[in-house]
A and B are shown apart, each in its own frame.
Chain A
Amino acid sequence: MKINSSWLSEYVKFDISLLDKLTNIGIEIDNISNIKIEANDIVTGEVKSCDYNNKQVKVYLNNDYINLYYNKINELDNNDIVAIALPNSSIFKKKNDKHNTYGIICTGEDIGLPNYKHTFKCDLKPNLLLKQYLYLDENIINFLTPYNRPDLLSVYGITREISSINYYYNNLNQLIKYPTIDTHKNIPHSNKFDINIDKHCISLLKLYNIQDNSTSKCTPLDIQLKLIYSGIKLHSYYVDIINYITLLYGIPMHIYDADNINNKSITFQQLYSQSNINNKFHGLNDTEYIIENDDFVAISGDKIISLPGIIGSKDTSISSKTTNYILECGIFDNLKLFKTGTRLNINSNAFIRSSKYIDYHIFNSAIKHLIQLLYQKDDISIYQLYEYIDNHLLNNKNTPIVLSNIQDVLGFTINNSAINEVLKALSYKVEFNNSNFIVTPPVWRKDAINKYDVIEDIIKFVSPTLNYNISYNTKYILSPKKQLLDKILDHLYYNQYHEIMTSPWHLDDKLFLYDKYFDNATLYTHENKPLRSQLLHKLLSQLIKYIKLGKQNIKIFEEGKIYNKEHNKIVETNKLSILIMCDNNKHSLPITIPTMDLIHYIYNNILCTPILIQQNGITIPKYAHPQQTCLLHNKDNNILGYIGSLNPDLIEQIKYKGNIYFAEIDIDKILDIEDQTKNKTPTISSITSTLDITIIINKSKDTLKIPSIIEESNTNIQNVKLISIYKKNINDYALTYRVSLYTMCEDKTYTQQLEREIINHLKTML
Chain B
Amino acid sequence: MNLYNDIIQTVTNIKNKFNNEALLCDNIKLLHLLKQSYINNHINTLTQNIKNINSIEDKKKVGQAINQCKRYIIDYNIKLKDDTSNNEYVNMSLYIDNIKTGSIHPVRQMLKKITNICISLGYDIKDGPEIEKIDYCFDKLNIPTTHPSRKTSDTFYIKDSKEYVMRPHTSSVQIKTLLHNKPPVQIISTGKVFRNDDNDRTHNQFFHQIEGLTVNKTASYIDLYNILNYMAINIFNSDTKIRFRTSYFPFTEPSMEVDISCQICKQKNIDCKTCKNIGWIEWGGCGLVNSQVLKNCNIDSSIYRGFAFGMGIERTIMMQQNISDIRLLFNNDINIYQQIKI
Neighbour of B332 across the interface among A146, A501, A689, A733, CB < 8 A: A501
Nearest chain A residue, comparing its CB with the CB of B224: A411
**Nearest CB on A from B315, distance (A):** 16
A494 at interface by CB-CB < 8 Å: yes
Q: B116, A460: Cβ atoms under 8 Å?
A: no
What B residues does A479 contact at CB under 8 A? 125
B34 to A: closest C-beta gap in Å: 17
Residues of A within 8 A of B253 (CB): 450, 452-453, 456
The chain A residue with its CB closest to the CB of B131 is A570
Does A500 sit at the interface, judged by CB under 8 A?
Answer: yes
Confirm or deny: B192 has a beta carbon within 8 angstroms of a beta carbon on chain A: yes
State whether B247 touches A493 (Cβ < 8 A). Answer: no
Contact A732/B81 with A478-B119, A496-B100 known, Cβ cut-off 8 Å = yes
Contact A493:B234 (CB < 8 A) given known A452-B254, A500-B334, A503-B206: no
* B246 close to A500 (CB less than 8 A): no
Q: Which of A342, A450, A459, A766 contacts B246 (CB 8 A)?
A: A459
Contact A498 B290 (CB under 8 A): no
B334 touches A554 (CB 8 A): yes
Say which residue of B85, B116, B156, B192 sits within 8 Å of A526 (CB atoms).
Answer: B156
Residues from chain B with Cβ under 8 Å of A690 in the complex: 116
Most B Cβ at <10 Å: residue of A31, A410, A688, A690: A688
Which residues on B sit within 8 Å (CB–CB) of A473?
121-122
Contact of A746 with B122 in the complex, beta carbons under 8 Å: no
**Distance (Å) between the CB of A674 and the closest chain B CB?**
17
A342 contacts B87, C-beta separation under 8 Å: no
Bound CA span A763–B92, Å: 12
Interface residues of B in 111-167 (CB under 8 A from A): 112-113, 115-117, 119-125, 129-131, 145-148, 151-153, 156-161, 164, 166
CB-CB contacts below 8 Å: A476-502 with B:
476-479, 482, 486, 489, 492-502
Task: Out of B91, B222, B288, name the residue touching A696 (CB < 8 Å).
Answer: B91
Q: Tell me the bound Cα distance from A363 to B327 in angstroms.
A: 48
Q: Does B56 contact A (CB under 8 A)?
A: no
Contact residues in B for A525 (Cβ distance below 8 Å): 156-159, 166
**Which of A278-286, A305-313, A463-471, A619-627 lies at the interface?**
A463-471
Contacts of B257 in A (CB 8 A): 28
For the complex formed, measure the closest distance between the CB of A279 and the CB atoms of chain B, giving whole angstroms: 22
B157 and A455 contacting across the interface, CB-CB below 8 Å: no
Contact B120 A748 (CB under 8 A): no
A615 within 8 A of B: no
A501 and B119 contact, CB distance less than 8 A: no
Contact of B254 among A459, A492, A763 (CB under 8 A): A459
On whether the beta carbons of B222 and A504 are closer than 8 Å, the reply is no
Alpha-carbon distance between A550 and B28 when the two chains are bound, in angstroms: 40
- Chain A residues positioned under 8 Å from B90 (CB to CB): 696-698, 734
Chain A CB within 8 A of B174 CB: no
Q: Judging by beta carbons under 8 Å apart, are A696 and B124 in contact? A: no
Residue A523 contacts which of B158, B229, B248 (CB distance < 8 angstroms)?
Answer: B158
- Given A500-B334, A688-B120, A730-B95, the answer on whether A456 and B125 have CB atoms closer than 8 Å is no
Assess the A410–B119 pair: CB atoms within 8 A.
no
CB–CB B288/A409 < 8 A: yes
Per the bound structure, the CA–CA distance linking A526 and B163 in Å amounts to: 12
How big is the A interface, by class?
Answer: 35 or more
Closest chain B residue to A408, Cβ basis: B220
Measured between beta carbons, the chain B residues less than 8 angstroms from A497 are 102
B257's closest neighbor in chain A, by CB? A28
Taken together as a complex, chains A and B put the C-alpha atoms of A504 and B166 apart, in Å, by 10
| Option from A556, A694, A700, A763 in Cβ contact (under 8 Å) with B85 | A700
A563 interface hit (Cβ, 8 Å):
yes
Q: CB within 8 Å of B: which of A712-731?
A: 728, 730-731
Contacts A408-B220, A411-B220, A529-B156 given; does A732 touch B122 at CB 8 Å: no
Q: How far is the CA of A556 from the CA of B105 in the complex (A)?
A: 11
- Report A28 CB to chain B, min CB distance, Å: 7
CB-CB under 8 A from B153, the residues of chain A are 345
Does B24 make an interface contact (CB < 8 A)?
A: no
Decide if A747 is an interface residue (CB 8 Å cutoff).
yes
| CB of B40 within 8 Å of the partner chain | no
Q: Convert A316-357 into 0s and 1s, putting 1 for each residue whose CB lies closer than 8 angstroms to a CB of B.
A: 000000000000000000110010001001000000000110
Q: Are A689 and B246 in contact (CB under 8 A)?
A: no
Q: Which of B89, B105, B164 contacts A500 (CB 8 A)?
A: B105
Checking A477, A498, A563 against B102 with a beta-carbon cut-off of 8 angstroms, the contacting residue is A498
Question: Which residue in A26, A526, A747 is a CB contact (below 8 Å) of B247?
Answer: A26
Interface residues of A in 637-673 (CB under 8 A from B): none
- The yes or no answer to B194 lying at the interface (CB within 8 A) is yes
Closest B residue by C-beta to A410 = B221
Contact in complex: B164, A570 (CB < 8 Å) = yes
A450 CB to nearest chain B CB (Å) = 7
Task: Map CB proximity to B onto A677-697 as digits: 1 under 8 Å, 0 otherwise.
Answer: 000000000001110001111
A470, B99: Cα distance in complex, Å: 37
Provide the residues of chain A in CB contact with B209, threshold 8 Å.
Answer: none
B131 and A23 within 8 A (CB): no
Q: Are A147 and B147 in contact, with the CB atoms below 8 A? A: yes
Is A512 located at the chain interface by the 8 A CB criterion? Answer: no
Residue pair B120, A474 in contact (C-beta under 8 Å): yes
Asked if B227 is at the interface of the complex by the 8 Å CB criterion, the answer is yes
Q: Mark A21-62, 1 if CB is under 8 A from B, else 0.
A: 001111010010000000000000000000000000000000
| Interface residue A140 (Cβ < 8 Å from any Cβ of B) | no
CA distance A697 to B123 in the complex (A): 36
| B221→A146 contact, CB < 8 A | no
* B16: Cβ under 8 A from any A Cβ: no
> In the assembly, what is the distance between CA of A408 and CA of B247, in Å?
21
Q: Is B1 located at the chain interface by the 8 A CB criterion?
A: no
B182 at the interface (CB under 8 A from A): no
Q: How far is the CA of A148 from the CA of B234 in the complex (A)?
A: 34
**A728 engages B99 (CB within 8 Å):** yes
A745 in the interface (beta carbon within 8 A):
yes
In the complex, what residues of A have CB within 8 A of residue B104's CB?
Answer: 489, 493, 499
- Selected from B101, B117, B290, B338, the residue in CB contact (under 8 A) with A746 is B117
Partner of A736, one of B99, B288, B291: B99
A736 to B247, CA, bound (A): 51
A753 at the interface (CB under 8 A from B): no
B130 touches which of A489, A527, A561 (Cβ 8 Å): A561
B226 within 8 A of A: yes
CB distance B161 to A570 under 8 Å? yes
- What's the minimum C-beta distance from B254 to chain A, rounded to whole angstroms? 3
A500 x B332 contact (CB < 8 A): yes
Which of A148, A570, A696: most chain B CB closer than 10 A? A696
Judge whether A149 and B248 touch: CB under 8 Å: yes
A523–B130 CA distance with the chains assembled, in angstroms:
13
How far apart are the CA atoms of A23 and B157 in the complex, in Å? 34
Give Cα distance in the complex from A730 to B120, angstroms: 34
B197 contacts A by Cβ under 8 Å: no
Task: Report if B77 contacts A (CB, 8 A).
Answer: yes
State whether the Cβ of B337 lies closer than 8 Å to any Cβ in chain A.
yes
Closest Cβ–Cβ distance, residue A510 to chain B (whole Å)? 14
Residue A555 is within 8 A (CB to CB) of chain B in the complex: yes
Instruction: For the complex, give the distance between the alpha carbons of A479 and B119 in Å.
Output: 11
Query: What are 17 A-B pairs with beta-carbon distances under 8 A?
Result: A355-B146, A411-B222, A412-B222, A470-B227, A475-B124, A478-B119, A478-B125, A493-B103, A523-B131, A527-B152, A570-B164, A689-B120, A731-B77, A734-B28, A736-B95, A746-B116, A762-B89
9 more contacts with CB within 8 A, not counting A493-B103, A496-B101, are A26-B246, A411-B223, A459-B244, A464-B222, A474-B122, A495-B102, A503-B206, A504-B206, A746-B120
User: What 5 A-B pairs are tightest by C-beta distance, nearest first?
Assistant: A411-B220, A745-B120, A456-B254, A411-B222, A689-B116
